[in-house]
Amino acid sequence: MKIDFSFYKDLPVWLKSSLIIGVVISVIVGFFGIARYTDKDDGLCQGCHPSIHAMWKHSHTHPADKVTCYECHSKKIGAFPDKESNLFVHYRDKIIPVHFDSDREMLNANCLRCHADIPQLKEVKHTRIVKISHAKHYKAEKVKIDDCLVCHYAVAHDKFSIETNRPRMQGCFLGECHKADKKEDRCELCHFVKLVEQEKVLEKITDK
């Protein structure tokens, strides 16, 4: 089947030019749109990281329909390029994300980009068992933690059967952080529900 383009010869110059420009723009937009979609699609990551992808897919902390690999593992590029940056490369990389990585500095920056208010919280609300003050941990006077992943290392890829976005006890006791708080009378620093009562609370949570 042949398509007859003979009508094109009889079109006015302005319309010919408009059609050519429209086709060129459509091709460019289509290319960048497809490239952006394929680069952001989590299936690209799944091919090399099937087990990690599966852990993220079932995460309750960062649901797969809201937070993807792209949100956490891609470098966010500003609206305007730096003086030393190439204009074309800057906007190309902004449209088509290519800088995917698990670099701690980049991951931490992405955590703070979405959760900028959390480091200043004296106490996280809506917690049923554990209370942790971010204000006392993140860049605080005594504690110099400036990396969210120090505590939340398993926030999206939790290998434990019971997932949680909170720090795990063994992590808190590593190093010198809470070495003196291993005594039973110190548990209520974080566990505002007494340990004996926790089992009942957990039963209620799991029954729902």
Give the pLDDT of the chain (208 residues) as one tens digit per residue.
Answer: 677 777 777 788 888 889 999 999 999 999 988 888 888 888 888 988 999 888 888 777 777 777 888 889 988 888 888 777 788 888 888 888 877 888 899 999 999 998 888 888 887 666 666 778 888 888 887 787 888 988 888 888 888 777 777 787 777 887 777 877 777 777 777 776 665 555 555 556 555 5
pLDDT score, position 195 = 54
Shared domain check, 149 and 74: no
CB of 171 closer than 8 Å to CB of 151: yes
pLDDT of residue 50: 92
* 124 and 82 in a common domain: no
In the prediction, which pLDDT does 128 show? 66
Residue 44: the pLDDT is 82
Q: How far is CA 164 from the centre of its chain?
A: 16
CA distance 65 to 69: 11
Say how far apart CA 195 and CA 151 lie, in whole Å.
21
pLDDT at 184: 72
Radius of gyration of the chain (CA): 26
* Count of domains observed in the chain: 2
**Does residue 5 form part of some domain?**
no
Residue 95 located in a structural domain: yes
Does any domain span residue 52? yes
pLDDT value of residue 198: 53
Q: Which domain holds residue 21?
A: 12-102
Would 129 be classed as within a structural domain? yes
- Residue 113 domain-assigned (yes or no): no
Question: Is residue 38 in some structural domain?
Answer: yes
**pLDDT of the residue at 194:** 62
Largest CA distance in the chain: 91
Domain assignment of residue 112, yes or no = no
